[in-house]
Amino acid sequence: MKTDLMLLTLLYAVALTAFIGAINSRGPARVALSYFLAILTLCAAVFHTSQFLAGGELHGDDAVVVAPPPQPVKPPEPVVAPPPPDTAALAASKNQVAVSEGKNELKGILEAARRTARSMSSLSLGAVADISDEEYESLQNRAVGYLAEARRTKDRFAAAAGKVPPDLKDTQDQLGKGLEALVAAAYNAERFFKSENDTEEKQHAAAFRSGLQNANASFKKAGPGLGSEDAGE
């Protein structure tokens, strides 16, 4: 750009000098030639001036580097929040786990109660008058042991009762009734050997058989709900 300005200044200076020379010339030929050169120089100066003002081509160090337009900035993609957890599905899953665990616990209690009931069914209380003292004492010890087993199973059931979900309530109730009957039957078997007369023996023996029958009936009703079909007889 500086070079163009210096060139224009020089052209105008030459044009001015040409006009001054034309004014001071003598003779028609010199005057005409001086004015022609002065006008030609002025025209050249005016032409270059118009080119300069119109933003003509610049060369060398004066060239203006035009920066490319900035690239559009792509807006960041919105962060999509994960969907909220399905509370209904979570609750159903937890309940399913609780039901499964409850079934396993109650099934273990039912199987323990059935083992005790099967052992008690072999306890014959009607023929104790014809057995030896050693056999009598053995039956009495067995009765005491069955009562202890029945009570331990009932205590186990009571400890697990609060953890069992409502879905198993009917099964839990049937198992509870069976355990109550089982403990009662075992208690009457134990009391049989402490009877003071034949009447008490008959009462305890009848209560023993009735309790054992009721226990097995309740166990049979509880079995399907726990996936166990054994009647416990």
Question: What tens digit of pLDDT does each residue of 116-139 get?
Answer: 999 999 998 877 777 888 998 999
Q: What is the mean pLDDT of the chain?
A: 82
Going by pLDDT thresholds of 50, 70 and 90, the confidence category of residue 156 is: very high
What secondary structure does DSSP assign to 86-152, as a single string? -HHHHHHHHHHHHHHHHHHHHHHHHHHHHHHHHHHHT---TTGGGS-HHHHHHHHHHHHHHHHHHHH
Q: What percent of the chain has pLDDT over 90?
A: 41
- Nearby residues of 17 by Cβ (< 8 Å), 6 or more positions away: none
Going by pLDDT thresholds of 50, 70 and 90, the confidence category of residue 5 is: low
Going by pLDDT thresholds of 50, 70 and 90, the confidence category of residue 158 is: very high
Tell me which of 26-40, 119-133, 162-176, 187-201 is least confident. 26-40
Going by pLDDT thresholds of 50, 70 and 90, the confidence category of residue 140 is: very high
* Position 228 pLDDT exceeds 70: yes
* Position 184 pLDDT exceeds 80: yes
pTM: 0.60
- Nearby residues of 150 by Cβ (< 8 Å), 6 or more positions away: 113, 116, 179, 182, 183, 185, 186
* Position 223 pLDDT exceeds 50: yes
Cα atoms found within 13 Å of the Cα of residue 229, Cβ hemisphere only: 0
> What is the pLDDT, as a whole number, of residue 58?
42
As a whole number, mean pLDDT of residues 197-206 equals 92
Going by pLDDT thresholds of 50, 70 and 90, the confidence category of residue 169 is: very high
191-199 own/partner pairs: CB under 8 Å, 24+ apart: 192/125, 192/143, 193/128, 193/136, 193/139, 193/140, 193/143
Is the CB of residue 182 less than 8 Å from the CB of residue 111? no
Q: Looking up tokens 């010890």, which residue turns up?
A: 141
> What is the pLDDT, as a whole number, of residue 163?
85
What does R_g of the chain's alpha carbons equal in angstroms? 60
> What is the pLDDT, as a whole number, of residue 64?
52
As a whole number, mean pLDDT of residues 30-52 equals 72
As a whole number, mean pLDDT of residues 94-98 equals 74
> What is the pLDDT, as a whole number, of residue 232?
41
